[in-house]
């Protein structure tokens, strides 16, 4: 394991070792923009690959891809997990092509239904997967501590890249976090906050289902700190205008277009990590008003 300054430095180290000008890197679309931007900054030829309900669409991965960046436990930002069949197919593809898979496991600790999913890294039998995680979601964004777990063949180069980058991270912070983990406090903290998030998630899903006149359709998900809702078929909406109206009312949401390079999927990404549970209904009421929707579904004054 190599400890990094958050997941972003982990991606940077991987890129420094594996990317040369023109290297083909496949990324999910919609997906995580900072990863795409980082790979581009290192000279990669970044190719967007669409996702469906099972994850990355295998037939759309370019044959020349040498790196594939995925969020299989909880696709970002749609929220659906990659199916076991698709995971197996991706690993087999990477083995045949000699490619490396970057697995960004950014918030799988917050899973509210079903058994935990095995990461790709655990299924990997041929040294194709680099696993990246961080403590930003489980603790707080200001805690810039992440890590990567790489196949043995890549470890020397990655350790060297880390030393050349910054020698080491904040040792006092890492020591405090290590003690927090060793004393069982991190596991206790995760259980506590996961219970809280598990009450917020269904509130937002229910509000979308009953309070938006069928204009939005929540994407099924059972994990994470956000809910994505796509515009229903046949509905025409100016989502940028909705976002501006919401911001004026103190509600911050983002459109799926913010996370897409080429995807035409339209919707909103609604985060709930920093909003108190007892304020969710009011927040969703304000958001619904930005669609010029009557508030009766939420109760209270019209």
Same domain, 10 and 130: yes
Percent of the chain with pLDDT over 70: 96
Residue 222 has pLDDT above 90, yes or no: no
Q: 157 and 48, same structural domain? A: yes
Please check whether residue 289 lies inside any domain of the structure: yes
User: Regarding predicted confidence, which is higher, 264 or 189?
Assistant: 189
Proportion of the chain in helix, strand, coil states, percent, rounded to 5: 40, 20, 40
pLDDT at 36: 96
Supply 16's token pair: 């420094």
Task: For residue 43, tell me if it sits in a domain.
Answer: yes
Beta sheet of 55-56, edge-to-edge order: 2-4, 146-149, 129-134, 100-104, 67-70, 24-29, 45-52, 55-56
Residue 24 sits in the same domain as residue 160: yes
Same domain, 242 and 155: no
Q: SS in 3 state form for 248-277?
A: HCCCCCEEHHHHCCCCCCCEEEEECCCCCH
pTM of the model: 0.91
Task: Report the DSSP beta bridge partners of residue 130.
Answer: 102
Kindly state whether residues 212 and 170 are assigned to the same domain. Answer: no
Give the total number of structural domains in the chain: 2
The stretch 15-25 carries a mean pLDDT of 97
Question: Which residues form the domain of 136?
Answer: 2-182
Assign residue 273 the CATH number of its domain.
3.90.1150.10
Q: What is the pLDDT of residues 94-126, one digit of tens each?
A: 999 999 999 999 877 787 776 767 889 999 999
Phi, psi dihedrals of residue 11, rounded to the nearest 5°: -60, -40
212 plus 249 within the same structural domain = yes
75 and 174 in a single domain? The answer is: yes
| Residue 187 belongs to a domain | no
Residue 43 sits in the same domain as residue 7: yes
26 with 174, same domain?
yes
Residues 58 and 7 in one domain: yes
């Amino acid at each position: 394991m190599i400890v990094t300054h958050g997941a972003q430095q982990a991606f940077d180290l991987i890129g420094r070792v594996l990317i040369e000008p023109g290297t083909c890197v496949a990324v999910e679309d919609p997906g995580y923009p900072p990863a795409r931007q980082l790979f581009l900054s290192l000279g990669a030829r970044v190719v967007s690959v669409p996702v469906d309900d099972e994850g990355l669409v295998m037939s759309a991965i370019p044959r020349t891809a040498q790196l594939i960046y995925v969020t299989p436990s909880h696709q970002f930002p749609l929220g659906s997990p990659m199916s076991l069949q698709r995971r197996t197919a991706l690993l087999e593809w990477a083995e045949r092509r000699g490619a490396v898979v970057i697995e960004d496991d950014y918030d799988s600790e917050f899973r509210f239904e079903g058994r935990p999913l095995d990461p790709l890294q655990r299924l990997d039998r041929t040294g194709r997967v680099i696993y990246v995680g961080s403590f930003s979601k489980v603790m707080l964004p200001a805690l810039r501590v992440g890590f990567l777990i790489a196949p043995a063949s890549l470890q020397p180069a990655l350790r060297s890249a880390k030393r050349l980058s910054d020698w080491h991270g904040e040792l006092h912070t890492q020591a405090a976090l290590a003690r927090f983990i060793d004393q069982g406090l991190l596991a206790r903290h995760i259980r506590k906050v996961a219970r809280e998030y598990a009450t917020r998630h269904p509130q937002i899903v229910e509000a979308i289902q009953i309070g938006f006149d069928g204009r939005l359709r929540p994407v099924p998900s059972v994990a994470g700190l956000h809910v994505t809702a796509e515009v229903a078929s046949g509905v025409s909406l100016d989502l940028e205008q909705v976002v501006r109206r919401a911001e004026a009312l103190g509600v911050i949401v983002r459109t799926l277009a913010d996370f897409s390079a080429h995807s035409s999927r339209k919707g909103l990404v609604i985060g709930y990590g920093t909003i108190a549970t007892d304020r969710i209904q009011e927040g969703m009421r304000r958001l619904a008003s930005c669609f010029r929707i009557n508030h009766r579904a939420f109760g209270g004054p019209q």
